[in-house]
Amino acid sequence: MSYINKPFEELNVMDDFLMNAIAADAEVGEDFCRSLLSVLLGRSIGKIKVVAQYALPALTPKHRGIRMDVKIEEYEADAQVCPVNLYDLEPHLQRNLHLPRRNRFYQAKVDSRYMNRGEKNFSHMPDLFILTILNYDPFGYDYMMYTFESRCVEVSDLQHGDGLQFIYFYTGGTKGGSKELKNMLQYLQHSTADNATDKSTREIHDYVSKVKTLPEVRQGYMTFDELIYYERMDATIQAIFDLLEDYGEIPESLIQKMHDIDNEALLKKYLKLAAKSNSIAEFESAISKLSW
C-alpha cells in the first residue's frame, strides 16, 4: 500500500510504517508490544524479544519468502535460548487476500526456523500465534476477534495440541470481546488522543506519541513509499513465475533477468506476456522482441 497521500501526522498504528517504527524503537518497542499483546490476548505477557520487519528468505530463487511485520518471542523468566511463545503480529489494510491460506504459508515458514537439522524432539517448538489485525470483517459475523485452532472433527472437545492459533482481530467488531479489547482496536484504527480512553490505550498512545516526535522516524516515512514500490515489483515478478512454472522449471538465467529489472511498467508488460505465452521459450522470445 502506498502512503504517499497520507500526512505523517495522520498515521495510525494500523499503518505498517508506524507499527514497525514503534516496535523497532529501542526504548519503547518491547513495552509497546507487551502492552498491546496483553490486551489483544487478555493475559499478561512476560519477557519478550521484538524484531520488526523480520525477513525469512525463500529456499530457492523461484520460491517465495516472507516478511513478518513484527516478530515477538516470549521467554520464561530464566530462559535465554528457547522461546515458549512466538507471535507474528500483522496489521492489514489490504483486501482481496486469501488470509487463511496466506497465514498457513506464513506459519509453515516461521515454524521451519525453530527446528535444527537432526533435531528429533518437536516438543521444544514454541507455541505460535499468528495475529492478524484488520479494518474489515474477514468472516462477516461482527466479532472483535476470531480464534482458530486445530480440533478433532469426530470428537469436538479433543484438541490437537499443536500449539498453533490463528487469531483475526476486526477493529470495528462489536461482539465477543471485552471493553478493553474494543477500546484498543478502536485506537489502533484511529490513533488519536481522543481514542485513548482507558489505561491501556493511554499507555499505548504515550508510546505512539513519543515515536512520532523522533526526527529519524519522520525522515524514514519520506522514503517508505520507495520500499512499497519494490514490494510491488517483487509481487509482479512472483506472479510471472507463478504463470510460467506450469510449463516446467524456470531457467536460472531468466530468474536472474527478472530480478535485475528496476522498471515497474516493464514488469507489468512482462506479466501480460507471461499470461499469453504457452511455454517458457515463447515467453523468452516475446520479451526479447519487446522494445523499451
Assigned domain for 220 exists: no
DSSP 151: B
Same domain, yes or no: 24 and 167: yes
Distance separating alpha carbons of residues 67 and 161, to the nearest angstrom: 27
Assigned domain for 1 exists: no
Same domain, yes or no: 244 and 157: no
What is residue 241's predicted lDDT score, i.e. its pLDDT?
92
Same domain, yes or no: 172 and 33: yes
What is residue 218's predicted lDDT score, i.e. its pLDDT?
84
Which structural domain, as residue segments, surrounds residue 238?
A: 226-288
Interval 201-223: pLDDT, tens: 999 999 999 999 999 888 888 66
Same domain, yes or no: 23 and 125: yes
Spell 64-74 as b/e; 16+ CB within 10 A means b: bebebbbbbbb
Assigned domain for 245 exists: yes
Assigned domain for 164 exists: yes
Assigned domain for 208 exists: yes
What is residue 231's predicted lDDT score, i.e. its pLDDT?
73
Same domain, yes or no: 196 and 237: no
Q: Following CA atoms 230, 232, 236, 241 in sequence, which dihedral angle do they give, to the nearest 10 degrees?
A: 60
Question: What domain count does the chain have?
Answer: 2
| Lookup: cell for 14 | 494500523
Same domain, yes or no: 181 and 36: yes
* Whole-model pTM over 0.85: no
Interval 28-73: pLDDT, tens: 999 999 999 999 999 999 999 998 765 555 555 555 655 667 889 9
Assigned domain for 178 exists: yes
Same domain, yes or no: 95 and 237: no
Of the three residues 165, 192, 213, the one that is the final residue of a domain is: 213
Residue 7: burial class (beta carbons within 10 Å; 0-12, 13-18, 19+): exposed
Of the three residues 180, 213, 246, the one that is the final residue of a domain is: 213
Interval 122-174: pLDDT, tens: 888 899 999 999 999 999 999 999 999 999 999 989 999 899 999 999 999 99
Same domain, yes or no: 169 and 272: no
Same domain, yes or no: 144 and 280: no
Same domain, yes or no: 182 and 244: no
Same domain, yes or no: 134 and 237: no
Assigned domain for 45 exists: yes
Same domain, yes or no: 246 and 270: yes
Of the three residues 213, 234, 249, the one that is the final residue of a domain is: 213
Distance separating alpha carbons of residues 134 and 30, to the nearest angstrom: 22
Assigned domain for 221 exists: no
Asked if 145 and 173 count as a contact pair (C-beta separation under 8 A), the reply is yes
